[in-house]
Amino acid sequence: SGTIFAYGQTGTGKTFTMEGVRAVPELRGIIPNSFAHIFGHIAKAEGDTRFLVRVSYLEIYNEEVRDLLGKDQTQRLE
């Protein structure tokens, strides 16, 4: 279990830090690097070990919460 939380003023690089630049491996953000690390370890697992990976990607802005992986990213979560 883990949480990555980015907090700060608008325009300070939170999205860049989290996502990075997809086309440039050296500029990948925390999220793609974390996925590579997790799935790299899963790929190396021996035997019939099974894994369950769940992911949430939420945005909190102006006291409103949005699910960025949901079908409707504009829908507020209660």
pLDDT at 71: 84
Q: Annotated binding site, which residues?
A: 8-15
* Confidence band for 26, pLDDT divided at 50, 70 and 90: very high
Q: What is the pLDDT of residue 14?
A: 93
**Within a domain: residue 30?**
yes
pLDDT at 2 over 90: no
CA dihedral 35, 73, 10, 22 (to 10 degrees): 30
Residues at the annotated binding site for ATP? 8-15
The reply to whether 20 falls in a domain is yes
**Does residue 6 belong to any structural domain of this protein?**
no
What CA–CA distances, in Å, run from 72 to 32, 60, 77?
22, 15, 11
Residue 2 counted as domain residue: no
Strand partners for 20? 28
C-alpha pair distances (Å), 12 with each of 3, 40, 50, 54, 71: 20, 31, 39, 28, 27
pTM: 0.76
In a domain, 42, yes or no: yes
Q: Could you report the per-residue pLDDT of 29-77, keeping only the tens digit for each?
A: 999 999 999 999 999 999 899 999 999 999 888 888 999 888 887 787 8
Is 7 within a domain?
no
